[in-house]
Structures are given as C-alpha cells and as structure tokens.
Amino acid sequence: QPVLTQPPSASGTPGQRVTISCSGSSSNIEVNAVSWYQQVPGTAPKLLIHSNDQRPSGVPDRFSGSKSGTSASLAISGLQSEDEADYYCAAWDDSVDGSVFGTGTKVAVL
C-alpha cells in the first residue's frame, strides 16, 4: 500500500513560517492533485487545501500549498498558537485505485 511520506514533526515560534513536505511517487502526487488536512487532537480532520493550492472558504490565507513533481508542501506563515495540530497530505493513487494519506506531521508552536 503506497503511502505519502511526511516529517514526523515541525516547530516554530509565533509569527514564523513553517513548511511541511509530502513525498510521493509517479502514481500519486505526480499525476493527481494533493489535499491537506489539519487535525487538532481529539477532533476530526479539517480540509485546509485542495487541488494542490486552493483554500476552501474560511481557511486563513496564512496557509498555502504547492506541488512540484512527486512532492508537495504546506506552508504556514505567521504561525499562531492555534496552529498546533497534526497535518496530513493526501492524494489519489492510480496504482491502487484509491486514496492515500501522508504519515502526518505534528506542528508545535514554541
């Protein structure tokens, strides 16, 4: 089962910019769009970014997404305490004909 690889953790001080990477392959990220989800512990995931770089209504513009080749990134600028959460990338994978999630990154605000 393919999986998208993320760093286990990332951190920054309030106001800093934090970037989270998501590494995939030619069967998922390279050919299909990436989405990102924020999960505060004890709550359901929330859609942050879809179609590589599109923010749903209500998501602050501090969150931005990008994609290049087989990798994608989520950037959080102007880090705030409420951004402490787990972040997951996801994409459709053509080889398994299903969705795959990233391994998840825990963001800490120091």
Partner 1 sequence: QVHLQESGPGLVRPSETLSLTCTVSGASISAYFWTWVRQPPGKGLEWIGYIHYNSGTTNYNPSLKSRVTISADTSENQSSLRLRSVTAADTAVYYCAKVVHRGFNSGWSIYFDFWGQGSLVTVSS
Note the residues at the interface with partner 1 (CB under 8 A). Answer: 1, 31-33, 35, 37, 39, 43-47, 50-51, 56, 88, 90-92, 94, 96-104
What is the C-alpha separation between 24 and 15, in angstroms, rounded?
29
Least Cβ distance, residue 14 to partner 1 (angstroms): 27
- For residue 102, the 8-state DSSP code is B
CB-wise, 16 or 37, nearer to partner 1? 37
Least Cβ distance, residue 3 to partner 1 (angstroms): 9
In the sheet that holds 71-76, the strands lie side by side as: 18-23, 71-76, 63-68
Least Cβ distance, residue 80 to partner 1 (angstroms): 22
27's enclosing H/E stretch is none
